[in-house]
Structure 1
Amino acid sequence: MPEPSKQEIGARAYKLWEQAGRPEDREAEFWQLAEQELRNEDQSSPTRTADTL
């Protein structure tokens, strides 16, 4: 599976930021968290097989 796009990461980061109460000066933290979550979802995807790794 391909890496998450910047658009996907941005959307997830925004959602996480809103859920956390919109704290200031933590953009990088939410970006990294969103990126990690999306990668973890990809790794646990039932469509992943040895051929797609």
Structure 2
Amino acid sequence: MDRPSEEQIRERAHQLWEAAGKPEGRHEEFWQQAERELCGSEDFDSPDRPT
């Protein structure tokens, strides 16, 4: 399976964040959830992932 682009992950994380009511301070949680959804069971460590 091809790794989703950073833009695809960012867009999905944003959707998840909005659906959760736009909570502050949880960007990493939504980023990781988006990666899991888009990547399946593969675990990608992205050097471009925001910290």
TM-score by length of 2: 0.74
Superposition map of 1:1-53 within 5 A: 1-40=1-40
Determine the C-alpha separation between the residues in 2 that align with 1:24 and 1:17: 9
Provide runs of 4+ in structure 1 moved above 6 Å: none
Q: Which amino acid aligns with 2:38?
A: L
Structure 1 counterpart SS, 2:23: coil
Gaps of 5+ in 2: 41-51
Structure with greater helix percent: 1
Aligned residue for 1:28, secondary structure, equals: helix
- TM-score, normalised to structure 1's length? 0.72
The percentage of counterpart residues that share the same residue type is 55
How far did 1:39 drift? 1.1
Residues matched between the structures, number: 40
Higher gyration radius (CA): 1
Which consecutive unaligned segments of at least 5 residues does structure 1 have?
A: 41-53
2: CA distance, partners of 1:30 / 1:9: 9
* Aligned-residue RMSD, C-alpha: 0.6
